[in-house]
Amino acid sequence: MNGAQKDGKMICKKDKKWGKIHLALLLLFASIALASLASSAHASSGAPSFLLAAGIDLKYFALALAIPIAAVSIAYMASYAFNVPHLRAVLQDELLQIIATGAVALTIIGTQGVVDEYVVAALHGAGATGNDITSALDGASDMLSGLSDETIALQNNMLDASVWLGGQASKSIFCNFMGVGFTLPNCGQYNAYRGGLTSAMFTTTAALADTYAQQYILSLARNYAFTIIIPLGLLLRCFKMSRAAGGALIAIGFGFYTVFPVVMLATENLLHSADQLVPPPSIPFSPTCDPYETNMLSARAGFSEYGNSLLSFDLITGISYFVLVRVLFMSILNLIITLGFIRAFAHIIGSDIDVSGLARIS
């Protein structure tokens, strides 16, 4: 009996000893985490160049990971203080999830750096952009700016053509025969072409609004993806009750900051031939109508000639391809590909997003 009591006392002493060691290690671990959190506020100046070029500040990532580490460390110490041993197994699982979240953060940062470096090198090598492009998002923004400028130029051309047609259709002559005056609107038939131009302008306006919407999405991603959305997602993913929401935020932020610009650049430069990546043709303004023309066949020939110029194959296909394919359809395709990636990536990191509704909206 005495021997058994001694063995029991020795086991209790060993348990207490190991408990103190665990407590000391966790205190050290929490101190290191909090110290790294404090020093991360000054770490942006020493960050790698590709992070600075992309506008990625590591202190937000450090903050998102240091908070759950400190919380788990404090809870682990409390389990010894309040003698709650069954809580330690749960906290160990949470610590593993924090480590996994840190691996996700490193993967996102490394992938962003590789993507930016490759895309910028490819764009500079092809001479497609200026030297101010430092990331894939910059390249996509530059591409969208070019598309919006070309769309505005096409819209202005349609407006000028419609005004010109209105001026031609308003031409008339006034005749006075034996005290009776009357007006002959010999050019009024040119108004027949204005209806088609009005419909084309509505479609072009929708295309221009689409480019502005994409630019707005890229602006949101530039300002908030690596400062709020992804760090908040990393923070939420470290805890079981908010893991799904955290994975969704990480996937959304990374998808629209990295994947969306890359998909836009890829589809723009790979799915169109060189002769299709040119500004759309302009609508002609000739021949003019002569209201003094008395020969009906000659007037009809001028009207038909202008109609044939509007129905030119190169003019119709150039404008239709630019507005309907390069601007409208490609924006829908790019968004669908991005949403598909977001759903797949969110599933990999432990979340599930139903993007079918968003895909229908796109």
Output the six-digit token pair for 229. 């959305």
Residue 116 covered by a domain = no
pLDDT of residue 31: 52
Closest CA to 25 of 103, 80, 106: 80
Q: Residue 280 sits in which domain range?
A: 135-362
- Answer whether residue 115 is part of any domain: no
Residue 9's pLDDT band (cuts 50, 70, 90): very low
Does 122 fall in a domain?
no
Tally of domains in the chain: 2
Residues 6+ apart with CB under 8 A from 116: 50, 53, 54, 134, 135, 136
Query: With 50 as the cut, is the pLDDT of residue 8 above it?
Result: no
Domain identity same for 103 and 220: no
CA torsion 347→349→350→355, rounded to 10°? -30
Shared domain for 269 and 344, answered yes or no, is: yes
> Over the stretch 230-270, which tens digit does the pLDDT of each residue have?
999 999 998 888 888 999 999 999 999 999 999 999 898 88
Q: Is the pLDDT of residue 153 over 90?
A: yes
Name the average pLDDT for the chain.
80
In a domain, residue 117? The reply is no
What is the tens place of the pLDDT at every residue in 165-194? 888 888 877 777 776 776 677 788 888 888
Average confidence (pLDDT) over 322-333: 94
Residue 123 lies in a domain: no
